[in-house]
Structure 1
Amino acid sequence: MDIVRTPTKSKKRPLLLGGGVVALIATTVALMRLDPAVPTVERAAVLIDTVKQGDLVREVRGPGTLVPEQIRWITAQASARVERLHTESGRTVKLGDVLLELSNPDLQIQTMQAEQQVRQAEIDLLNLRTNLRSAILTQEGTVATMRTQWVSTTQEARAADSLVRMGMVPAFEASNRKAAADEFTTRLRVEQERLTLMRAAIDSQIAVQASRVVQLRAIADNQQARLRSLTVRAPEIGVLQELTLQLGQWVPEGTTLAKVVQPGKLKAVLRIPESQAKDVQIGQTASIDTRNGLVTGRVARKDPSALQGSVVIDIALTGALPAGAVPDLSIDGTVVIDRLQNVLHTGRPATGASTGTSSVFRLESDGRTAVRVPVVLGRASVNSIEVLSGLSAGDRIIISDLSSFATADKLRIR
């Protein structure tokens, strides 16, 4: 008969499973202890510079334009309409050349009215002088009459007083003649004072009317000047610019009609970033790149405030201008602000601070890896910066923008 046999349980499988778990754990621990993968950058994609020991010229740079040193703006003295154009922008003009003609009938009428008011005021002044002189002459005649009557009544009073003592004239008649003499004495004094007041007042009355004539004459002269300004003339020798008016165009008072510039007298106006402009001082040397040559100059003026993140610097040009240097030409300017003697310096890192503690990637001796090292940077220039500590002369560092590797401490250079 068949015998049923129970299979024997194997003890090797638990042993095999236990060994696999141990190996898995060991592998996991080993992987956890591994360093993260080192990022790789292409050598052609980074800019490498060498730390040097020597002199460092600190410079600041900014864009700008060439601007005439002397600009004469021509503005409309009165509202008018453009009737005729005698020249155009870009032409060389001489003093007194007619540039354009304007017209304003209302201004002509106002000028004539102002002249009429002046003439009327002059006539009033003449009449006033005549009337005052006539009044004085009349008063002088009155004073003379009063003096004659005073003399006559005084003599009669004296005679009557003598006759009273002789008994030839009654006392009341002598008293009446004395009263008449006293009356004419008072009247003579009053008329003399009136004459004095009239003579004193004549000058003030004439002065008031004369000042009115002067005032109206000034108004009339101003109107005449505005009328003459309708014929626009060149105020000086130079090149005419920005004459863009058209025939029939209405020009309000104060509108800029054109400007006259001196093309041979130019200056450079630079816009220096406000973070760098603090070290710019009057008198520092500068170099202006006109895209057609370099021109030397010196800082002549510095704006006291910043505008839209930059400070305006005026450069007086001391060198000869190259061909093609014209007003409003775009330029680049560099200002030398300091010269450092025998300092450690390198190219300015794209992501490094201008001053203070930072970090850069320094290449190892094999040139295939770069390690992040802390550095202390000092005074900076446009393209260079002083190294205070952290690097040595001959070290090679990456100065390109590596902000995408901000968390990496090591790079592989391929």
Structure 2
Amino acid sequence: MIRAAGACEMLSCRRPIEEATGASGPSGSGCDGFACGEVAPTEGRNTERASRERKGAEVWNPDATRLRSGTIRESGRGQARRREALVRRFLSVVKWVGGIGLIVVLVCGGGMAFLYPTLSKTLKEQRERAMGPIVEVKTVEKGDLTRTISAPGTVKPKTEANITSRVSATIIRLPFEEGDTVKVGDVLVELDSKEVKAELAAAEARLLAQRASLKSAEASLAAEEAAILGTKASLDKALADWERQQELFGSGDISKAELDVYRATLDEQRASYEARLAGLKGSEANVEAARAAVLQSEADVARAKENVEYTIIRSPMNGVITRVDAKVGEVALGTITNAGSVIMIIADLSEMLVEARLSERDVARAKEGMGAKVYINGFPDRTFRGTLRRVSIQSQRGEDGATFFEAEIVLHLDGDRSMFAGLTANVDIEVENLEEVVVVPSQAVLDKRVEDLPEKVRSTSQVVDKDRTFASVVFVLDDRKVVMRPVRVAASSLTSTAISEGLEPGEKVVVGPYRALRELEDAKTVRLPEDEKKEDEGRPGETEVAKDGGETGAGEDDKPAQSEEKASSPEAAEEESTAGEAHASTAG
């Protein structure tokens, strides 16, 4: 084997050849293929290269030294490139690991953020079940209880008038607006009167004509009466002549033919008289008809005059205009017999009522004179008083098909004129008043099946009626435990219940929350709100201590972890090894 000094012919390597060619390379060619990763040249070329370098070293020994120095410098740059490549690989791995770690952190953090409320709620419920539910208690006291029945209603004025027109005419003036106060006799609406005045003139003309006809008929009747008097005289003379001629004919003084002439004259006068009588009756009828026509014409004139007056509509009462539904220029429709469209509404707001609808179940308990509390939606912060004045005895059916009885409650406004008609209201009619009784919130009284009561409670209580299906019970607080106590209810309202037996003033009963009440059992341990407050005050301190200790431990553990990570990194070990080799070569 030939020793040679110089550099490897692979330009990307530039490593010095320190031993004989073929002795250090993996293929036996003299090139350190494992160190640089290049493919070793063939054995012939390596031998020739070694021969040339040997000759050059014998001739130019100082140059060879410089050549080796240059080779060492070139070798240092190659090592730097290797280190940069290793750093890039290391940073790439760090980026991938960091990205994956960030994704894991985001996923886990989102999952924890989503699950935390549920987990927190579950843990809290488990803790509460272990320590007992938190309940609210109230000391039993005596007080007054009013039993009421409720009904919906609507606020309305005592008196309300719809102003309509009795004639069809155009509106030419509306002196008042909505909200104005009016008095009896004030002009509310003025209609165009030209047409109705023309109708009045025509009716008066017809009246004059009918009166003239009546006079003519009366004159005809008078003439007929005079004529019939002459006819009656002629008939009487003919009858007297006929009777005298009959006597003469009986004595033989005249002949039959002469007697027949007098008989014909009598018959003629009688027929004429009867005709005059019939004519007289006709004249009388004409007079009656003329008189009726005159009366009719007079009625038409009177109606026409009223229509003229109806063109001026006046207020029938003192009140306030609550609504105006017409405008100037519009036609107000109406007739004498049928009221037309509503022009405006006037209400007497000095006394307001609530028309309530009582159900069939409550109507029998409502009596006139009972007091009532009225809650009006338009005044949510006020409670009004009222008195039941009337209850209808005839049922009505609403739009939804439900049957109800109308009740009238008078509002006590004490001179307050700020009430509005048409507001929705709810009425609580006071049907029973209990004074100085034990009163508890209605929510505190529960209905339990008698068969579900504990045997001790069911057997020792004098209040439980074993023949009934349900029994009313309350839970009384006794040294952090609750005791189921059967009670007898005297009366109840929406918010309060009067207890006639089973409770005494001064005892503490559980009043809520409702969910805890439903789950309570006899002799069960409970907690009060102040207990939870104390627990919440102690819990943050423990959390802070745990947090500080965790951070301190983590800080102490970080250092060895970092050292272990650095020592266990293969890239760092290789980089340190390469740096050591370069340092040794430079020193040599």
- TM tier, smaller: 0.5 to 0.7
Residue 364 of structure 1 corresponds to: 477
Residues 1:144 and 1:270: Cα distance change in structure 2 (over 3 Å): closer
Equivalent residue number for residue 34 of structure 2: none
* Aligned counterpart for 2:497 among listed residues 360, 365, 385: 385
- Give matches, 1:5-404, under 5 Å: 37=129, 41-43=133-135, 46=136, 48-52=137-141, 56-60=145-149, 67-78=156-167, 81-103=170-192, 109=195, 112-113=198-199, 116=202, 119-120=205-206, 123-124=209-210, 126-131=212-217, 133-154=218-239, 156-157=241-242, 170-184=254-268, 186-187=270-271, 190-191=274-275, 193-194=277-278, 197-198=281-282, 201=285, 205-206=289-290, 208-210=292-294, 212-213=296-297, 216-217=300-301, 220-221=304-305, 223-226=307-310, 228=311, 231-243=312-324, 245-249=326-330, 253=334, 254-269=340-355, 278-287=364-373, 296-303=385-392, 305=395, 313-317=407-411, 320-322=414-416, 324-325=418-419, 327=421, 334-340=428-434, 343-349=437-443, 357=470, 359-366=472-479, 368-370=480-482, 375-387=487-499, 391-400=503-512, 402=514
Inter-partner Cα distance in structure 1 for 2:306 and 2:427? 46
How many residue pairs match? The answer is 365
Can you give the 5+ residue segments of structure 1 that lack an aligned partner in the other structure? 1-35
TM-score (norm. length: structure 2):
0.49
Residues 231 and 276 in structure 2, CA contact (< 8 A), matched pair in contact too: no
Give RMSD over aligned pairs. Answer: 4.6
Give the aligned residue type for 1:144.
L
In structure 1, the residue matched to 2:575 is none
- Distance apart, 1:348 and its partner CA: 2.0
Counterpart Cα distance in 2 of 1:401 and 1:282: 39
Shift of 1:282: 0.6
Instruction: Note if contact 1:279-1:337 (Cα within 8 Å) is conserved in structure 2.
Output: yes
The Cα of 1:211 is off from its aligned counterpart by 5.6
* Farther-moved stretch of structure 1 (330-339 vs 139-148): 330-339
Please state how far the C-alpha of 1:242 moved relative to its aligned partner.
1.5
3-state SS of paired residue (1:282): coil
CA distance in 2, matches of 1:311, 1:352: 33
Aligned residue for 2:229, secondary structure, equals helix
Structure 2 CA distance for aligned equivalents of residues 122 and 401 of structure 1 = 91
Which SS does the other structure have where 2:350 is aligned?
A: coil
Distance in 2, Cα, partners of 1:256 & 1:162: 89
Give the partner amino acid of 1:237: N
**Percentage identity across paired residues of the two chains:** 18
Q: Which has the higher helix share?
A: 2
Counterpart AA for 1:147: K
Max Rg structure: 2
1:312, distance to aligned residue in structure 2 (A): 5.4
Structure 2's unaligned 5+ residue stretches are 1-127, 335-339, 448-468, 529-588
Q: 1:59 to 1:396 in 2, by over 3 A?
A: farther
The alpha carbon displacement at 1:264 in A equals 2.9
Structure 1 position 74, deviation (Å): 1.5
Identify the residue that residue 3 of structure 2 maps to in structure 1.
Answer: none
Q: Cα distance 1:56–1:95, how it changes in 2: closer, same or farther (>3 A)? A: closer
* 1:149 aligned partner, one-letter code: S
Alpha-carbon distance in 2 for matches of 1:282, 1:39 = 55
Query: Residues of 1 paired with 2:273 and 2:131: CA distance?
Result: 121
Kept in 2, the 8 Å contact 1:286–1:299? The answer is yes
Secondary structure in 2 aligned to 1:87?
coil
Deviation at 1:402, TM superposition (A): 1.9
1:187-218, Cα deviation, whole Å (9 max, x unpaired) = 36524643674476467535653564466456
Displacement of 1:88: 1.7
- Contact 2:477 2:510 survives alignment (8 Å): no
